[in-house]
Amino acid sequence: MKPRWFSFCLPMLLICGLAAAAQSQTSVPDRKKVIEEARHAYYSLRGAGLDEFRATIKPNWEILLKEQIKADPAAAQAGLKALNGLHFSMLLDGNDKVSLTHHADAAPVNEQQRKGFDDIYSGMDQAISGFFTTWSLFMLNSPFPATASEYQLDDLGTQYRLSYKEGSSDVMTTMGKNLIITEIKVNSPEFISSVRPQFVHTAKGFVLTGFDADYNPKSGPGVVKLGIKIDHKPVNGLQLPFGLIMDSVLDGTPTHLEFAFSEHEVKSH
């Protein structure tokens, strides 16, 4: 049999819990000021004067083929020679579009190698384009909506929750009171995604050092989990990528990729 105090305390606990929940999710009166401060807290290449940049990209084929090298060193070395004869370069233009170009030192020796090269070109394009889609959100402009746009900013106690529409997608950003973003969730008609970025603080704002991400299509295959690490270095005073480590799992299949960026060419104002 329940003690009498239990019957009294339970409703009181429920009332207190509801009051705390209501208090922990209050709208922020000076929300425009918070968003304006957040926009200025992050490093922006466009704000720093970047117009466009080019770079060469070299995959670390030895890392990708390490198991083949262990199993059959002679065959793997022949494969590495062909792979090292493939060259890639990228352009990020003034419209935030990234394009990847490639060429080979020698033509494919047979149809099997030609198909293999085509698969590599396609895979590189998807990997680099996908990376820059997320990278651009944090490094080119701002990961926050315009100050005068429509959005809801809630105070959760130790965090802010920012909610707004981006086209047909619902976006929810969680950040600490120090304005550091901990997660961005996107719910679109086609997919649900979550990005959890990491930053380093610099004199010119927060610079992206990596992110973890999940991408779940609402139908069909294509479930992706990502773990990204980025090495930025200054070129003409602008923070640009020099190294990229990418761990991905596509529909249960893991892949580890490493890329080096070099020969940067920058146009700025």
User: pLDDT tens, 223-238?
Assistant: 999 999 999 999 999 9
Long-range contacts of 183-188 (CB under 8 A, 24+ apart): 184/137, 184/143
If pLDDT is split at 50, 70 and 90, which confidence band does 76 have?
confident
Q: How many whole angstroms separate alpha carbon 249 and alpha carbon 226?
A: 7
Q: In sequence order, which residues have a C-beta less than 8 Å from that of residue 102 and are 6 or more positions away?
A: 86, 87, 88, 89, 121, 124
For residues 65-79, average pLDDT: 84
pLDDT score of 81 more than 70: yes
User: pLDDT tens, 34-59?
Assistant: 999 999 999 999 999 999 999 999 99
The tokens describing 246, both together, are 């990418």
User: pLDDT tens, 132-158?
Assistant: 999 999 999 999 999 999 999 999 999
Q: What is the pTM of this model?
A: 0.87
Q: How many whole angstroms separate alpha carbon 53 and alpha carbon 90?
A: 8
